[in-house]
Copies of this chain bind each other. A is one copy, B any other.
Amino acid sequence: MNGVDFKEVKIGDGFVKKLQELNADVSVYNVYKRFEETGRFRALKHERDDAHKPHIFWDSDVAKWLESAAYILAARGDEKLKAIVDETVDDICAQQMPCGYFNSYYQVYEPENIFKNRTEHELYCAGHLIEAAVALKECGAGEKLYAAMKKYADYIYERFYVKRDTAFTTCGHPEIELALVRLYEVSEEEKYLTLARFFVDERGTREEPCYPWASRPYDQSHRPVREQKEAVGHAVRALYLYCAMADLARIGGDKGLEEACGALFSDIVNKKMYITGGTGSSYHGEAFTYPYDLPNFYAYSETCSAIALAMFCLRMAKLKNKAVYHEVFERVFYNNILAGESKDGKGFFYVNPLEMHEAAVDFNNGLKSRRHCPLPERVEVFGCSCCPPNLTRFIESVGGCIYGEEDGNIYVNQYISSETQAAGAKITIESEMPYGGKARVRAEGQASLRLRVPAWNAGVTMKVNGKRVEPSVREGYISLCCDGDIEISLDFHIKPRFVYANENVWQDNGRKAVQYGALVLCGESADNGKNLGAVRIKSLAGAKAAQGEYFTLDVKAERLKSSPALYSYEAPEPEPFTLRLIPYFSWANRGKGDMQIWWL
């Protein structure tokens, strides 16, 4: 299936439009401000300042920010933003070496070590710069960086593929691979595809250096990629690699890669994914662990790995469409990804726990030497601030998830208010989602439609041009051939539903989450006080949804109240309790407190 690129999609009024407005008005500027303050933009000028050395991956932070800005410029234009972009591009190009190489750390501090340290993110930074350059070109925001980064890519090709005189073959952090595919697709120059394939094919075929504490699965170098069937190691690295694998499987018709991608996707979504779409359950290596290991408080679930899973889903759909890819996209988008950002668009989470215990955080903060503990509130910038600009570029480009085309069929994969031209027809969507289940799809022109039926529906009602039609659903889609203009009213009945985890997930045994449409709900201390773990929900009957400052669902529940003793032979007494749930993505916007998703 060909996805309809987000640049061909006009987002209409609704949930996503508001996200994008906040993104363009607030987030992108605030991220810029924090990156400016912390020296990330200054570092591009390559003025040596030993006291404030740039971090080895600062270039990638700026690059993702540039990519976000490019998308915003395409969607709405913004003189002020354009000026920052141009200056930034000028800075990069001014410091690029004649050979094409560019890296704000290595050029200034360790020029003798260029392409010598596999772990130090050089090609990762290059990849993000290439993506930024492609984005700017595609968005009509200038081709200066594109020319510069093509030159850089040529240099990488020369050194890594032709001469092979570098100290490592594949980068410790995948990213360059998918960036090169993007560069190939826009430039149509075969060498970039060759180089992408080379990096993917070489991975895991030999022992290459890694961090002293990490073993080969950490960066997916434990075996050749076609033999990788289980998701392992650093989750963002893994998913960026799998994205490139899916791209190459599609472009080359590479069955080995396709099979590996299918197995990896299945391993993730059936054994290693949080209900929020989060992946990478361990802070240790920010990594995938073993099947069904999904701790809630100590979840890592990095915002970047959630975005990377969304990227992988769309690539898998392009390779061979299945409804499940869009289901997982929907899950990770409306839950883990959106939780990465605060309501005001300024704060970000790197780690996205599924449970918060304020007492644990406070205790840990009181220690002289702290352990890993998730943050209870979002912050504006991190030392390693990969997630904020990843979110700003993701939100701006999310329209790419909506439509697809294949064999003359037009696919509607997500119900996000928008319009596009696809397969000769004009398609318009008006949607209540995620807070309601109704959507209207208009098609002008001849169109064979495939409308995805969200898995969370509790019934589907459809009208075509006002007339009730019984939908026939196949493989997760309603098929509808129509000649001329039609209006389809869809009602995917939405109601709060319990979700149960597989019995192998011991952290969730005996508990259930509440989902409302695509939204995983959570409860916070701000509404419910302490001891959320002792709240028991027997039924969702009579639960009341409301839309105020937050979407809320009030559920009749009970709280188990024990005797004051630490241990007792008496069973805890239930007392009536009204539990207020909000979307998981809305959590932690009202100060510190406890939060929980899984209920007794």
Contact = CB atoms under 8 A, between A and B. Distances in A.
Nearest to A520: B567
A284 interface: yes
A538 B114 CA distance: 65
10 contacts: A213-B368, A215-B366, A284-B371, A293-B363, A500-B567, A500-B571, A502-B566, A503-B560, A503-B562, A504-B530
Interface in A352-369: 357, 359-360, 362-363, 366-369
A568 B500 CA distance: 5
A79 interface: no
A271 B371 CA distance: 22
A506 interface: yes
Interface string A200-230: 0000000000000111000000000000000
Given A363-B290, A367-B284, A531-B503, A571 B510 contact: no
A506 to B, nearest CB: 4
Given A270-B566, A273-B566, A292-B566, 12 more contacts: A214-B369, A215-B367, A290-B360, A500-B568, A500-B571, A500-B572, A501-B567, A504-B530, A506-B532, A509-B560, A510-B534, A510-B536
* Listed residue (A273, A289, A290, A503) with the most chain B CB atoms within 10 angstroms of its CB: A503
Given A360-B293, A600-B510, A499 B369 contact: no
Interface string A267-292: 00111010100000000110001111
Contacts of A368: 213-215
Residue from the set A213, A269, A512, A533 with the largest chain B CB neighbour count within 10 Å? A533
A42 interface: no
Nearest to A561: B503
Contacts of A215: 366-368
A475 interface: no
Contacts of A500: 562, 567-572
B569 A499 contact: yes
Among A291, A498, A564, A569, max chain B CB count under 10 A is at A569
User: How many copies of this chain are found per oligomer?
Assistant: 2
Interface string A556-579: 000111111111111110000000
A511 interface: yes
Contacts of A285: 367
Closest 6 CB pairs of A and B: A213-B369, A506-B533, A509-B533, A215-B368, A503-B534, A510-B600
A213 B371 CA distance: 11
Contacts of A572: 500, 503
A53 interface: no
Contacts of A322: none
Given A497-B569, A568-B499, A570-B500, A534 B509 contact: yes
Contacts of A292: 359, 566
Contacts of A363: 289-290, 293
Contacts of A362: 290
A374 to B, nearest CB: 15
A359 B502 contact: no
Interface in A512-552: 512, 530-534, 536
Contacts of A369: 213-214, 284
A566 B272 CA distance: 8
Given A367-B284, A499-B569, A506 B562 contact: no
Given A293-B360, A504-B531, A531-B504, A567 B213 contact: no
Contact of A501 (B503, B505, B562): B562
B506 A531 contact: yes
Nearest to A564: B502
Interface in A178-199: none
Nearest to A210: B368
Nearest to A285: B367
Given A359-B290, A510-B510, A531-B506, A569 B214 contact: no
Nearest to A563: B502
Contacts of A561: 503
A564 B360 CA distance: 34
Nearest to A596: B506
Contacts of A512: 571
Nearest to A599: B510
Nearest to A366: B215
Contacts of A498: 569, 571
A368 B233 CA distance: 12
Nearest to A271: B566
Question: In this complex, which of A291, A362, A506, A600 has the most chain B Cβ atoms within 10 angstroms of its Cβ?
Answer: A506
A289 B560 CA distance: 24
A367 B367 CA distance: 27
> Which interface residue of A214, A369, A559 has the most chain B CB atoms within 10 A?
A369
Interface in A296-349: none
Nearest to A505: B566
A566 B290 contact: no
A512 B215 CA distance: 40
Give the most central of A368, A371, A532, A600: most B CB within 10 Å: A368
Contacts of A532: 506
Contacts of A289: 363
Contacts of A568: 499-500, 502
Contacts of A565: 270, 502
Nearest to A283: B371
A99 to B, nearest CB: 36
Nearest to A275: B567
A511 to B, nearest CB: 7
